[in-house]
Structure 1
Amino acid sequence: MNTLNHIHKFKKFMSVSFNFSSVKYVNQVDYKMNKYKEAVEALNNLQSNAAYLKERSYIKSSYNDEYERTISQMKKYLVSAGITNDKLNNLEVIHVAGTKGKGSTCAFCESTLRYHGYKTGFYSSPHLLEVRERIRINGEPISHDLFAQYFWYIYNRLLKDYPDNLPVYFRFLTIMAFYIFLKEKVDVAILEVGIGGEFDCTNVLERVPVVGITSLGIDHTNILGTTLREIAWHKAGIFKPNCKAYTMLQPRDAMKVLMQRSRERKTSLEVIRPFVNIEENGRNIPEVFSLNASLAVTLAYSWLKTVRGLNISLKEFADHPATKKGLANFNWPGRYQVIFLDDVNYYMDGAHTPESMEICVKWFRVMTKKSTRSRVLIFNMIGDRDVEKILINLVNCNFSKVFFVPNISGRNNTTDNKIKDINIHITKCNTYRSLWIKLLGCNNLHVDETSIITKYSVNDAVMDISNKPYDCLVTGS
């Protein structure tokens, strides 16, 4: 007994000794994490994208006024951050706009170029878990330390020059991305447009050798217009003189505008068709991913041919082992992703337009067609969208439970994904709940209001269904 007691005392002593010797390291880690958390807090206190877009939607201005408020102002911010026009023009960029599939197309393109041996930068939005996911080097989110380091450098410079007019959230991150890609000396940066194209802050670039336009649809109508012609005009705003532009088959009205704008901008525009087959570990992936991958491979090939003098055919490039590895190892969490956790099968896809939700529902039905489990829906939608047109795709999925939740992971969440005025978002979720009940009634479907629930956070919904055999679709934005 005494022996065991001494052993336990010795183990405790060794543990204390080890912890004492590593205090300095632990303190360094804590310090770095605190700097990161402080950076995220400061970032979240900038004007949000939603507030900025709502403000802009009420402003009807001329082209020159809009350009001055967006692109010209962005140039001033960049100079304040130490990024001159000459420096920015030294950055090799592949620029991608579109309504649907921008993120996956960029991710496919980045992965392809990385597996061909190039140091890549990748700027995308939104993030899934942490804001640093938006800025990646060689496929990996920048570290907490680097994020904090670069954030505070840029923040303090901008605060000095623009104390009462700091950039909004997305614009600030775009400045950060440009600065980081230049400092980290990437070979090529793949940039996903935020909203539209013509007046998007990523469009401050003047020299872009290769651009892509993914599938077009109706979205952000308060900013971009209510017709495909208007939306296509904005998306084509990323066309640059003498650059190579690629798109996929588009609705007739949209294609006419893209062709017209390519002529105006002296840009060569080519329409690609799917030629890449995507298989992800034998799982069923919607055909649209093959189309996005085909556009991505074309963009990567065009950049290598234009900038690096690649001298093989597109087919040879697509069949190259590095290209195939890049596509096979492509990772885009939150898009047609399946996670098995606590006896629940979670099917996740960030569909946020009627068209993308239709594809999402087809994928979910295929994935669960042999399942005997009950179905659950977890849904939210941000921004100013016609949610009824999106939800109508989901009402016939026979969900036994439906949760409407804001984009908050848990009740103690104070860092990333911070949402101000939570009551506003809960009210929105209650509106979606009422809309869901209405749609069920209109489609002569059974309505059990006790199974249609608004929750405070995602965790609350997850806790409600954990350890029960459900197939749960998590979708929206």
Structure 2
Amino acid sequence: MSYREAIEYILSLQQLGIKLGLEKMQRMAGLFGNPERSFRCIHIAGTNGKGSVAAMCASLLKASGCRVGLYTSPHLVSFTERIRVDDEPIAESDVVRLADHVREQLAQSPDIPAPTFFEFTTLLAFLHFRERGIDWAVIETGMGGRLDATNIVQPDVTVLTRIGLDHQEYLGQTLAEIAREKAGIMKPAVPLISAGQADEVAQVLSASAEALGCPVMFFDRDFSGRVLKSGFEGIVIDYVSPAETIEHLTVPLAGRHQAENAAIAISAFRRIFPSPGGSDYALQATERPVSQEIVRLGMAASCWPGRLEVVDRDPLTIVDGAHNPAAATALAAFLADHAAGYRIALVLGILADKDIAGIMQPLLPHAAQLFLAPPQTSRAASIPVLAEIARAAGFRPHHGSSVHEALRAARDWSRAEQSDGQNALVLLTGSLYTVGEACASLGMPAVLGSLREHR
């Protein structure tokens, strides 16, 4: 089986849809000797920020000398991005070999139902991590938490990033219902590190933590990240916890919201590797103390593509995967802070099952010109739907037949504005699908990048 054939087979499992539940995943893992038990892990769920937190946690663990696996989704330009060891994506040859192996074993076990795309991919990740002999894994849930395929792990620390309204058709219609699903990753007596949450979410998490005997720390209650400096290249923060203060910490991810994500990652890391002399929870930590210099090195090496990322400077071009109203609001706040003097060419491509108006409304006031771009997926919102919202806000949007075409037009417009003496930039956002296609358009190597799961 070639790499293309392997990926096409894996993605053909999409036809089974999304089937939340753990019994099948547990049986599949058992068939392969439970690879998820071969490493220790941090398990992360949430609505916004979980990918950034996962990347930072992995970078911190690597800086401390650990061999680290990172499992995230979706990918931007290549399937192999999802499964990494020490920052290196899984080799295409390993994808082919492991996919063949899993497929053969499942064919010999007809009592196990066919896996979904995400179940199959999660098993590949666990098998790869075992083969590579990792010490720690950072595992991001795919959707929800309680019934997510990743929830067969036994973590040392659980993390919940900001919880908001998304995937309501699967997780519930209210914040409290969604919070209960995501809180399902919590395990008895395992520490929980949480973002600051809406009151109804915090109540659910606190009740779950009490019932399970989990120590819990909330951002802005038990630890914090104070922004000292913010710009296109990232932020500088002071991290403050009961055990220590780390001043002037460089975080190379842009946006003030990354201060919370960075503080969450550091707090999770410190439950594993405590600060020297930090007495507040050092006795509950599981590894040796490490210095603040390790934290500085780990944070400085953090990288999470497609999130307020500057991908070109001629003209200045930024991509961001904001795909729900909360993420769009955070992006709009960044623009207010740092792009007030720019004429912005806003390129939007959004999925039809998202809150389209809720994504567009915070961003449109910052746009000087609007370009609409349909990503290559059957889930893409139609141009007329986006255009109607734009026209109601006073725009006469341009549109292209593809993300590539719309992005090219936006960059041409931005260059023309610069020729007239204006500060101009291009901002492309609305979906990680859109961002992935833009990155491929700008020359990043897209290996079957158009093949994606239905999420």
5+ residue gaps, structure 1: 1-33, 57-68, 409-418
Query: What one-letter code is carried by the residue in structure 1 that aligns with 2:9?
Result: A
Q: What is the correspondence of 1:142-153 to structure 2 with a 5 Å cutoff?
A: 142-153=90-101
* Pairing partner for 2:344 from 351, 372, 375: 375
2:169 counterpart (219, 222, 243): 222
Q: Which residue of 2 aligns with 1:327?
A: 299
Q: Note closer, same or farther for the CA distance 1:376–1:280 as it changes in structure 2 (3 Å cut).
A: closer
Instruction: Establish whether residue 79 from structure 1 lines up as the match of residue 57 from structure 2.
Output: no
Higher-helix-fraction structure: 1
Give 1:431 shift. 2.3
Matched ranges for 1:60-459 at <5 A = 70-80=21-31, 82-84=32-34, 87-162=35-110, 165-205=113-153, 207-272=154-219, 273-275=223-225, 282-283=233-234, 285-305=254-274, 308-311=286-289, 317=291, 320-340=292-312, 343-371=314-342, 374-382=343-351, 384-406=353-375, 408=376, 419=377, 424-425=378-379, 428-438=382-392, 440=393, 445=394, 447-448=395-396, 451-453=397-399, 455-459=400-404
C-alpha separation between the residues in 2 aligned to 1:340 and 1:230? 41
3-state SS of 1:46 partner: helix
CA contact (8 A) 2:335 2:366 kept: no
Shift of 1:151: 2.0
Task: Give me the whole-angstrom Cα distance separating, in 2, the residues matched to 1:90 and 1:383.
Answer: 40
TM-score normalised by length of structure 2: 0.80
Deviation at 1:165, TM superposition (A): 4.1
Provide the rounded CA distance (Å) in 2 between the counterparts of 1:456 and 1:426.
12
Q: Work out whether residues 276 and 293 of structure 1, in 8 Å CA contact, stay in contact via their aligned partners in 2.
A: no
Q: Cα–Cα, structure 1 residues 394 and 222, in superposed 2: closer, same or farther, change >3 Å?
A: same
Structure 2 residue identity aligned to 1:36 = Y
Offset from partner CA, 1:127-186 (integer Å, 9 cap, x none): 111011010000121122222222222222223434994211111111111111111110
Q: Does the CA contact (< 8 Å) of 1:347 and 1:364 recur in 2?
A: no
Quickly say closer, same or farther: Cα 1:344–1:351, change in 2 above 3 A: same
Which of the pair has more CA radius of gyration?
A: 1
Return the letter of the residue paired with 2:429.
Answer: T
1:274 partner amino acid? S
* Residue 465 to residue 352, structure 1, CA distance change in 2 (3 Å): closer
TM-score normalised by structure 1 residue count: 0.76
What amino acid is the match of 1:118?
C
Secondary structure of the corresponding residue to residue 382 of structure 1: coil
Give the residue type in structure 1 aligned to 2:4. Answer: K
Q: Secondary structure at the match of 2:21?
A: helix
How many Å separate the matches in 1 of 2:371 and 2:232?
30
Deviations 1:49-88 (A, max 9, x none): xx724xx6xxxxxxxxxxxx610111122233x133xx53
Pairwise CA distance, 1:308: 4.1
Q: What is the DSSP-based 3-state SS (H/G/I as helix, E as strand, rest coil) of the residue aligned with 1:298?
A: helix
Give the Å deviation of 1:427. Answer: 5.9
Q: Distance in 2 between matches of 1:295 and 1:125?
A: 19
- CA pair 113-181 structure 1, distance change in 2 beyond 3 A: same
Q: Deviations over 1:194-214 (max 9, x none)?
A: 111111111122x22211111
Tell me which amino acid in the other structure corresponds to 2:263: S
The answer (yes or no) to whether the contact 2:73–2:140 under 8 Å persists in 1 is yes
Change (3 A) 1:307 1:148: farther
| Counterpart residue identity of residue 464, structure 1 | A
Q: How many residues align?
A: 391
Q: Structure 2: how far apart are the matches of 1:99 and 1:288? A: 13
| Partners of 2:352 and 2:54 in 1: CA distance | 23
How much has 1:192 moved relative to structure 2? 0.6
Cα deviation for residue 124 of structure 1 reads 0.5
Q: What SS class does the counterpart of residue 142 from structure 2 fall into?
A: coil
Counterpart residue type for residue 83 of structure 1: G
Q: Provide closer, same or farther for how the CA distance between residues 214 and 426 of structure 1 changes in structure 2, counting only shifts above 3 A.
A: closer
Moved more, 229-238 or 144-153: 144-153
Q: Give the equivalent residue in structure 1 for 2:407.
A: 462
